[in-house]
Amino acid sequence: MAVIHRNLLQKQTKRLLSENQNSKTTVNYTNAKSIGVLFTQSNRNKYQAIKSLVTQFEKEGKQVTVLCYLEKGVENYDFRYDYFTSNDVGLWGKMQSPIALKFAQQSFDYLYYLDLKENIYLENVLAMSKASCRIGFYKRKNDDLLDLMLNFNAEYSIEEAIDQILFYTRKLGSHGN
């Protein structure tokens, strides 16, 4: 991606985030009904871990919506989840994917951003998000994007990292709000 395009997307994300500073009320995990999941499709292991997490949420009676960013040259394994690509962002850094825009407008109780590395496209969707509580892995840059961050241990597999983030989210339900 051209440096100018990347910079414009990051500026657009920052602007969206500042405009989206509405007051949020987080429900405890037990009472949460709607869950959003954002991730970059990078390999089969990550895809399987996400699929397993979605199944867990659904067994708990949660309504789950998943959106993935599909990198160039990466397979969309089962075509199970909606996706968008870098081609869905305009020249001036504005999201043009109807799927991503619809996802961002949903009022999720919890929105999980499950990338261990920075993804400026998904961060743009996060900045637009109407979710009550945005959860993901700690990156200094995400201080304003996420409400709950887990400091990821590099020794963890993606499956273990997701298990940890789910463990701490469930703790939100055990103490109420």
Q: Is the pLDDT of residue 177 over 50?
A: no
**pLDDT for position 77:** 67
Overall number of domains in the chain? 1
The share of the chain scoring above pLDDT 90, in percent, equals: 40
Q: What is the pLDDT of residues 49-89, one digit of tens each?
A: 999 999 999 999 999 999 999 888 776 667 788 999 999 98
Q: Bridge partners of 110? A: 35
Domain containing 119 — which CATH number?
A: 3.40.50
Taking the model in full, what pTM does it have? 0.86
Task: Answer whether residue 24 is part of any domain.
Answer: no
**Which one, of 34, 57, 172, 45, lies nearest residue 111 by Cα?**
34
Task: Answer whether residue 63 is part of any domain.
Answer: yes
Task: Answer whether residue 177 is part of any domain.
Answer: no
Largest CA distance in the chain: 47
